[in-house]
A and B are shown apart, each in its own frame.
Chain A
Amino acid sequence: MSGWIASLAMLLSFLVSLSIFFSFLLHSPQDRILSIFLFDWIPFGSLKINVGFMIDPVSSIMTLIVTGVGFMIHLYSIAYMREDISIVRYFVYLNLFSFSMLLLVLADNFLLMFVGWEAVGLCSYLLIGFWYEKPSAIEAGKKAFIVNRVGDFCFLIALFQILTIFGTFDFSDISRSASELFMKDSFNVNLLCLFLFFGAAGKSAQFPLHVWLPDAMEGPSPVSALIHAATMVTAGIYLLVRNHVLFSLAPSTLMFIALVGSFTLLFAASIALVQNDIKKVLAYSTLSQLGYMFLACGIGAYATAMFHLMTHAFFKALLFLGAGSVIHAMNGEQDIRKMGGIRSYIPKTSFTFIIGSLAISGIFPLAGFFSKDAILFSAFKSHSLAILFWFAGLFGVLMTSYYTFRLVLKVFYGDKNFKENETHVHESPPIMIFPLFVLAFFSIVGGWVSIPMISGGDVFGKFLSSVLNPTVSVDSHHNLTLELVLMFLSLGIALLGIFLAYQTCCKKRQFFSDSSVVGMRLFSLLENKYYIDEIYSLILVRPLRFIANLFFKLFEQNIIDASVNGTGRLVKSLGANLRSLQDGYVKTYAVSILFGAVCIIFLLVFNFSSRF
């Protein structure tokens, strides 16, 4: 029941978003903005902070993703969480998340956005730790929350900088006056953008703040689909796109963002190659795809970043929901080594999962192909150093298709690595299958809104063009041959990745022999995620624990506890001594009353009489 109410709320929000979107399509590009002022929130001297919403094409796309994909995931959750006793709590958190995410994307100023920003972080924490009986889930929730704090702290510093420089938090005011207040590539604007980027990197799990996202997979699968793939982790991209005017004034920071993005995409994809938990593979894949988006932002292709954000929301939500369906079918088993050959048992899930995998690998003509290719093309065409980014992206494509199809082949094909009579593999109920098919549909057609080759094919980019002036001029007419060559190149590389996956998983061919030392080292390095968690534990967690322990023993125990306990002991001993006065004999009390009365009379007679 709770699930249906929550889903209905999402459906209504989706319909409203849809109606706004279509009304935008009817208007001319200049009129595609909608501002709603609600009330003064903090009027303080010259500083006025409103609670108000602003919808422009960028936030319109975001609301469509949040409510549309969100509705599908709500629907899926009804069946997925049916047997959980805390289903009401689950849907409350999920709806709270949707509310916060909408607040984040609709806010017309930084502070209101920050409220949404923190609230989605809170919901993420609550949902990761949803199964709080599991110690690992609690740990993962805490880790996500604390790592996010680092990013949020940087965001907060950026907010203070904005307040001192601009004196306002309003997005449109800031965008308008940014070019007057800042010299291009000056230190101030770079510093501001750097802190904004660190905030974005925390929420969008970019290196080195990526450590929380793989652990966040402790939450229920639909949560991973909604929060840790489709919507919340893209908030960082949204932040960058929303403030693209600021960022375009800071080319050095953009360079840094592109570097971090391309590093993260390679780094995460390489880890995903060897992971054995179905959800961990998808988590690292999400990191890698977010890296693509940051890369796109870094080279100034904001519309392309938004485009990839949208297609990624479709196919990654699909993959996570599919993984949830697989886990459901396997009675909670997440290890792909214990699956295999379950395609015939769950034909619908595997069909949609394979569509999602083809889409993420960038196979023509699915959504991922167009969006990833647009990023690669922008990287190829931007500045001179960008050829490195292009290579990184291309290598990322190879790894993406390899790890995705390694997953597909190990789960759905090959030998059965489980006991058939113990695990009754079963297809999920229709209410879980329906969202899979809807998302699969969009994973196929989602890319067709922006086909750069055809002139006028970039409908998506044009829709956003009133907000985002394309800094990378995509004049596709001149470079049609070049673009086609690049497309076939990336398509070929994606197919190569699938081929390699087929060779290793089905033909059992080994590219690194296990006996070679380098191969072993590399394998264990990847399997242990480059030991990042261990390094953090060594340089951050343990010193902090040590200091905390020191203070606990020195200060807490010896000073605070001692004074509190000392007060208690003093009162106790006083009471023990004084209580002997009350011996229970009426006469003792009578004598003490007499004594008191005599004292009062004495005072009255000898002291007060002299005064009056």
Chain B
Amino acid sequence: MVPLENYLFLSSILFVLGLIGVIVRRSVIVVILCIELMMNGANLAFVSYGHFLNSMDGQLIVFFVMAVAAAEAAIGLAIVVMIYRNRESTDLDEVNLLKF
């Protein structure tokens, strides 16, 4: 039996990797992928707690998160397409009009 700490450790590694990716990467697509990674880190924590606490709640929430993630991915990719069409690039550092 693998202890809970290992799962949580893996989950936080996934989350932090995703976070770093969101912060440092420039490409919109990679940032979206990293957000997916962060979500999966959270999902992992949910299912492992659910398993160890003998509760279905964690797994239930994961289904919600996956549904939301699917929707989010669809919208996010649509936005990416629009950005690309407008700017001929997907570089996030060039998308800074929303200010002041």
Contact = CB atoms under 8 A, between A and B. Distances in A.
Contact of B23 (A582, A583, A584, A590): A590
Nearest to B96: A584
A587 B96 CA distance: 10
B29 interface: no
Nearest to B99: A584
Contacts of A547: none
B96 A594 contact: no
B53 interface: no
Interface of A: 579, 582-587, 590-591, 594
A167 to B, nearest CB: 69
A103 to B, nearest CB: 61
Given A584-B98, A586-B31, A586-B92, 6 more contacts: A582-B99, A583-B99, A585-B93, A587-B23, A591-B23, A594-B19
A584 B98 CA distance: 5
Contacts of B23: 587, 590-591, 594
Given A579-B100, A582-B100, A587 B92 contact: yes
Contacts of A579: 100
Contacts of B99: 582-584
Contacts of A583: 96, 99
Interface in B70-100: 92-93, 95-100
B82 to A, nearest CB: 15
A251 B92 CA distance: 97
A37 to B, nearest CB: 69
Interface of B: 19, 22-23, 31, 92-93, 95-100
A86 B31 CA distance: 70
Contacts, number: 25
Contacts of B31: 586
A591 B93 CA distance: 14
Contacts of B97: 584
Contacts of A590: 22-23
B19 A585 contact: no
A97 B23 CA distance: 76
Nearest to A591: B23
A590 B28 CA distance: 14
Contacts of B100: 579, 582, 584
Nearest to A579: B100
A586 B93 CA distance: 8
Contacts of B98: 584
Contacts of A587: 22-23, 92
Contacts of A584: 95-100
B10 to A, nearest CB: 19
A579 B99 CA distance: 8
A428 B100 CA distance: 70
A411 B23 CA distance: 96
Contacts of A591: 23
The 10 closest A-B CB pairs, nearest first, are A584-B99, A584-B96, A584-B98, A585-B96, A582-B99, A590-B22, A579-B100, A583-B99, A587-B23, A586-B92
A579 B23 CA distance: 21
B41 to A, nearest CB: 14
A585 B22 CA distance: 12
| A579, A585, A591: most-surrounded residue (chain B CB, <10 A) | A585
B19 A586 contact: no
A582 B22 CA distance: 18
B98 to A, nearest CB: 5
Most buried by B among A583, A584, A587: A587
Contacts of B93: 585
Nearest to A597: B19
Contact of B95 (A582, A586, A594): A586
Nearest to B93: A585
A591 B22 CA distance: 9
Contacts of B19: 594
Contacts of A586: 31, 92, 95
Contacts of A594: 19, 23
A587 B28 CA distance: 11
Nearest to A587: B23
Nearest to B22: A590
A587 B93 CA distance: 9
A584 B92 CA distance: 10
A582 B97 CA distance: 11
Contacts of B22: 587, 590
A90 to B, nearest CB: 55
B71 to A, nearest CB: 19
A472 B5 CA distance: 117
A595 to B, nearest CB: 11
A302 to B, nearest CB: 79
B99 to A, nearest CB: 3
18 contacts: A579-B100, A582-B99, A582-B100, A583-B96, A584-B95, A584-B97, A584-B99, A584-B100, A585-B92, A585-B96, A586-B31, A586-B92, A586-B95, A587-B22, A587-B23, A587-B92, A590-B22, A594-B23
